Every structure is written in structure tokens, then in C-alpha cells.
Structure 1
Amino acid sequence: MLLEDGTEPGPALFASSDGPSVHRSYRWQDHDGRFGNPQAAALRGACSCGWRGENRYPLAWSTEDGEAWVENAPSSDCQRDWSAHLEQVEAASVQVPDKLEKRAEKLVRRLEELSVDEPLAVLKVLDRLERQLKEVRQDTAYQVLCEQKDQEEGRSWEEIAAALALPVDEVQSRLLRYQREV
């Protein structure tokens, strides 16, 4: 969301009635100009990776009886821009072998089907898979970190981040966290 001057506001703040705590909201709907909060002037697609959409979609606020609202908010336009961004990120990331992708999809479908008749069995399988996947993720993160240290063979943090579709400033801490999982 954007203010009239094109900046992104901080959270909307709301005092709590039961003490000194303050509720923070990043929802654009709460940036309606009331309670000392700024009024959002436009929306644009945004992603946690830092990407911000180029398109800006103006908000037309209406006010009646002290209530402010927007009819026909352009949320779907922002969603469309964000989805296009995700497609670009996915296309630039490492490609998962088709055979592996299909097996994973098949396993998920089968577990969903079984969850109706055998929910406890599915939970048991999922617990086992979580343990095994954690071990694989830990070993693989260790391998990637070791390769990255070897400057002749290793990939740069930028290459690793792009391959995993992660922001560069998060990739090292994510791999270290995977490696330390217990």
C-alpha cells in the first residue's frame, strides 16, 4: 500500500482497551485515515523478498457516519501482479526434475485421499516423513554450505539465493538454520 506521497506507511496502530499494549496492523483497510493512522492512497503488489510491483492501483475512499471504506478495491490486480512475480522467481530458480515433482504430487494426493478413511495412519506417516525430510534437509544444507566455502567450485550467495527463490540476505541464515535442525 502507498500513501499519497508514494511512500509505504508503517503499521496502523490501535491502542488496546486493556492496558498499555498497542495492536499493529499492516492491512491496507486499517489505513483509513482514522485514529491517527494515515490513509492509503493506492495499492501495489508486494512480496516479502522485497519486490514491489510497478503498477499502482488508486483507492477511492468513501466515508459515511464516520466509517471509511473502499468499494471495488483493486486487490485482485495486486494479486495478479504478485502471481506474475512468483512465476518469474520460480522460472529463475533451480528446476526440480519432473520425475521427482510428479512423485511428490502423487504422494500428497494419496495422503489426502487416505486422510478421510485413515487419518491416524496418515499422521503417523507424516511424522515419519518430517523426521526423514529434516535429516535430508540438514545433510543437504551442510553440503551446499561446504561447497559454497570452496571458492573454486562453490556457488555465490546470489546464485544459491536465485536457485532456491530466496532473498540473498536470507539464504545463508536459512541454510545454517537447516543445518542445525535437531
Structure 2
Amino acid sequence: MLVEDGTEPGPAIFDSGSGPYMHKSHRWHGYDGRYGNPRAAALRGACSCGWRGETSYPLSWSTTDGEDWVEDAPTRDCERDWNAHLEQLEAASAEVPDKLDKRVAKLVRQLDNLSDEKPLTVLKVVERLDRQLKEVRQAAAYQVLSDQRGREDGSSWEEIAAALALPVDQVQSRLLQYQRGY
């Protein structure tokens, strides 16, 4: 979301009127110019990794009975740009063998199909998978960190970040969290 000068503002703040807590939001509808928040002028795709879309899509505000609103927000355009970004990340990340990818997709479909009839069974299986995957993730993170620290030819943080589709400034802390079992 961009304001009139083309910058991306901090979170919109909403004072609930009592207590020290103030609700904050980055959702574009909160930027309607009320309550001391700036008015959104355009939208663009964005990702938590720091990526921002190149194209901004203007918002057209209307006023009816004193209320400001946007009739057709270009959210689909932003979503299309974001999906293209995700495809680029996926293409640059570590390759998942096709056979494994299909097995995971099949398991997810089976669990999804079973969730209406036997939701407790699905939860039990997912809980078991969570525990086992946590152990596998922990071991893999340990191996990546050991390789990176222990060898001259170990992968750089940039290569590791690209393989995991993570921002470079987050990859080391994420791997340490995985290694510690979080």
C-alpha cells in the first residue's frame, strides 16, 4: 500500500479508547485518512520477505453519505504479482524430487478428504507428523549449519536463503530456531 507521495507508511493505528494497547494494521482499508492515518493512494504486491511489486495500482476513492470507500480495489492485480514472485522464489529454491512432492501432495489430499468424516483421526496423524517432522527439520538444520560453518566451500548465506526461499537476513536465525527444535 502506498500513500500519495509513493511511500509505504508504517502501520495504521486505531485507538480503542481505553488502556495502553492500540490496534495496528497494515491492511490497506485502514488507510482511509481517518483517525490520523494517511489515505491510501495505490496498492502494490508485497511479501514478508521484503519484496515489493514494481507496479502500483491506483485506488479510486468515492464518498457516499460522508463515508469514503473504494469500489473496485485492484487486489487481484496485486495477488497476481505476488504469485509471480512466489513462482520465482520456488524456481530458485532447493529442488524437491518429483516423487517426494507427489507423495506429500497425496498425503495432504488423503488427510483433507478424511477430515470431514474423522477429524480426530486427522488431528492425531497431523500431530504425529508434526513431532516427526520437527526431528527431521532439526537434524537437517544442524547439518546445514555445520556445513556452512565447518567448510571453506560451504554454502553462503545467500545460497542457503535462496534454496529455502527466505530473506538472507532471516535465514541464520531461522536455521538456529529449527536446530533448537522451535
Q: Deviations over 1:13-68 (max 9, x none)?
A: 12112334322121111111112111111111111111111111111111233311
Query: In 2, distance between residues paired with 1:22 and 1:95?
Result: 43
Task: State the AA in 2 paired with 1:74.
Answer: P
Q: Deviations over 1:88-115 (max 9, x none)?
A: 1111111100000011111111122222
Query: In 2, distance between residues paired with 1:103 and 1:96?
Result: 11
For residue 74 of structure 2, what is the aligned residue in structure 1?
74
TM-score relative to the length of structure 2: 0.95
User: What SS does the corresponding residue of 2:40 show, helix, strand or coil?
Assistant: coil
Q: Does 1:121 align with 2:136?
A: no
Query: In 2, distance between residues paired with 1:36 and 1:126?
Result: 45
User: Counterparts of 1:36-47 in structure 2 under 5 Å?
Assistant: 36-47=36-47
User: Counterparts of 1:132-143 in structure 2 under 5 Å?
Assistant: 132-143=132-143
TM-score relative to the length of structure 1: 0.95
For residue 112 of structure 2, what is the aligned residue in structure 1?
112
Query: In 2, distance between residues paired with 1:158 and 1:169?
Result: 9
For residue 89 of structure 1, what is the aligned residue in structure 2?
89
For residue 162 of structure 1, what is the aligned residue in structure 2?
162
Query: In 1, distance between residues paired with 2:125 and 2:48?
Result: 32
Query: In 2, distance between residues paired with 1:120 and 1:95?
Result: 33
Aligned residues: 182
In structure 1, list runs of 5 or more residues that go unmatched. none
Query: In 2, distance between residues paired with 1:44 and 1:27?
Result: 12
Q: Shift of residue 122 of structure 1?
A: 2.1
Q: Shift of residue 87 of structure 1?
A: 0.6
Give the % identical residues. 71
Distance 1:116 1:14, change over 3 A: closer
Q: Deviations over 1:125-164 (max 9, x none)?
A: 2221111111100001000000001232310000000000
User: What SS does the corresponding residue of 1:170 show, helix, strand or coil?
Assistant: helix
Task: Please give the root-mean-square deviation of Cα atoms over the aligned residues, in Å.
Answer: 1.3
User: What SS does the corresponding residue of 2:2 show, helix, strand or coil?
Assistant: coil
Q: Shift of residue 8 of structure 1?
A: 0.5
For residue 152 of structure 1, what is the aligned residue in structure 2?
152
In structure 2, list runs of 5 or more residues that go unmatched. none
Query: In 2, distance between residues paired with 1:34 and 1:125?
Result: 48
**23-32 or 93-102: bigger deviation:** 23-32
